[in-house]
Structure 1
Amino acid sequence: MPEPETELVATPHGVRLERLVTGAGDPVTVFAHGLGSGIATTRPFGSGVTGRKVFFQFRGHGRSDSPPGPWSYLDLARDLRAVADLEGATRAFGASLGAGALCRLLAESPERFERLVFFVPAVLDRPRGRAARDRITDLLDAVGSGDASAVAEVVSYELPPSVRNTPAGWAYLRQRLDQLLRDGLASGLVTLPDQVALPDGAALAAVTAPALVLACAGDDLHPVEVAEQLAAALPRATLHVYDRPGVLWTERADLRERISGFLNG
């Protein structure tokens, strides 16, 4: 999707965050992106969602500030809470890293949101595997080198093989390359794959909101086991597992219907 003009907003914890607000009216939904991603990659998830939609960049991403580290999921939860509070969001969507930040926020404020969507959660109370650490290290090294071909090689793994050599795949790569080479990624992100979102997933037992947890079989960076554990920890969760990764490309209509139908309901 074309990148619209965004804004930098001040937060109570002193970190300016890049934000985009689309749509109009209530309810308001906040969208939290994955590690190394951002506003552009989360916008498609909100295409069928009614009301105002608030997209933002976590610290270290895009034009958002990069305060001194190391950073934790508690810091990410503060970023998410600040953006949600500024716009009065009552619903929340979290993808991968954003799902972990949302879990940390809910552990402290279990009644903060009325509806929740978790897309391919990557971590709960056990650290991520080596594949996740290697992927973010490779991405940071490539972006730091300024070599477009090196960045493109790492980013291409975000695409299903069937999409990589298509016009849609090339457009996605170009958009990601433009954003990453323009804004960069903060080195403080490298420690996050070694951390957990919560000391104990049981802390989510007090969450009262209905939740939708979405996972993909065969996704090494986002194991189905994490989604199953999260769905079991949330009292009112529904789990759906797709049979292969890359569903934003291969199952977009179904994914849009599930997310918008749940949030709009």
Structure 2
Amino acid sequence: MRSFRWPPPPDGGPRTWGPGPGGPRTGRPALPEPETELVATPHGVRLERLVTGTGDPVTVFAHGLGNGIATTRPFGSGVAGRKVFFQFRGHGRSDSPPGPWTYLDLARDLRAVADLGGATRAFGASLGAGALCRLLAESPDRFDRLVFFLPAALATPRTEVARRRITDLLGAVESGDASLVADVVSVELPPAVRNTPAGWAYLRQRLDQLLRDGLAPGLAGLADQVPLGDTATLARVTAPALVIGCAGDDLHPAAVAEELAAALPDATLHVYDRPGVLWSERADLRERISGFLNG
């Protein structure tokens, strides 16, 4: 398979290479982005929010660094009740107050959105998982069910590979160069998915959002920080938790998921055997998350 290339073929491609038909193959178009709202919080930071679904329970979804509502929504596709998605400070249309920012600031963002929406359950991915841990260190009984997807750091800083990836993404977005952003974002895709209709659809959606809304420079300082001083602070959390890790993921080492599961008194750990689970294990992942939260 050829390596990733930008810009995409003008007719939407990609084309098949080698013998056989050479016509373009178009993927399913991305769904239009829903209308969001800006909500005021008690700590003075306006945050972009989207609420979907009806009834109880209410689950709040916290995204990863450089991601947002669009990339977090698939995790809630099978979850019952209302679902509250939002953008942390520095992402999307949310405010970017003067820094430096810490995980305590992110925990305040998460708590405010959860309180405003009446959420009793929480999902955190990567950076969002760290913010959720920080919130629980202060309020261990805030939620009655918890899901942590690919936690990136706990009491030990992120790896050098992860910090460099974050720096590259922020620098590319700041430059406004679509090809440079595409090069960085394409690393999120498994090699088998790049240059496929599904891969192009994902890449276009990510580029549209990042080049439109940008990412605040204040996010760079979070790459060197940790959510917790000591994982022992999570021993007071009694809510059932599902921790999902992935072997071979440089940005989210499986060891971090294992450490988090060991620190939580009532945790179930599942580690996928290869990275890219949003592409290779989407149905299983959706059923695993919804089954746990709905249960």
TM-score range, shorter chain: over 0.9
CA RMSD of the aligned region, Å? 0.6
Distance 2:218 2:108 in 1: 16
Deviation at 1:136, TM superposition (A): 1.1
Distance 2:175 2:138 in 1: 39
The within-5 A match list for 1:180-195 is: 180-195=210-225
Partner of 1:256: 286
Match of 1:121 among 132, 151, 171: 151
Partner of 2:174: 144
* Greater Rg over alpha carbons, structure: 2
Question: Aligned pairs, how many?
Answer: 265
Report Cα offsets for 1:207-231 as digits up to 9, x if no partner.
0100000000000110011101100
Deviation at 1:105, TM superposition (A): 0.2
Q: Is 1:26 aligned with 2:56?
A: yes
Deviation at 1:193, TM superposition (A): 1.2
Name the one with the larger helix percent: 1
Match of 2:165 among 121, 135, 159: 135
Q: Is 1:223 aligned with 2:253?
A: yes
The within-5 A match list for 1:89-168 is: 89-168=119-198
Deviation at 1:239, TM superposition (A): 0.3
Report Cα offsets for 1:111-131 as digits up to 9, x if no partner.
000100000000000111111
Partner of 2:93: 63
Percent identical: 86
Distance 2:93 2:230 in 1: 33
The secondary structure found in structure 2 opposite 1:173 is helix
Report Cα offsets for 1:61-110 as digits up to 9, x if no partner.
00000000010000000000000000000000000000000000000000
Distance 1:219 1:2 in 2: 30
Partner of 2:84: 54
Structure 2 length normalisation: TM-score?
0.89
Match of 1:8 among 34, 38, 62: 38
Report Cα offsets for 1:28-57 as digits up to 9, x if no partner.
000000000000000000000000000000
Structure 1 length normalisation: TM-score?
0.99
Distance 1:26 1:12 in 2: 24
Distance 2:165 2:92 in 1: 18
For structure 1, list consecutive stretches of 5 or more residues without a partner in the other structure. none
Deviation at 1:174, TM superposition (A): 0.4
For structure 2, list consecutive stretches of 5 or more residues without a partner in the other structure. 1-30
Match of 1:211 among 241, 247, 257: 241
Report Cα offsets for 1:125-179 as digits up to 9, x if no partner.
0111111111111111111111100000100011111111111110100000000
The secondary structure found in structure 1 opposite 2:268 is strand
Q: 2:243 is aligned with what amino acid?
A: V
Deviation at 1:2, TM superposition (A): 3.0
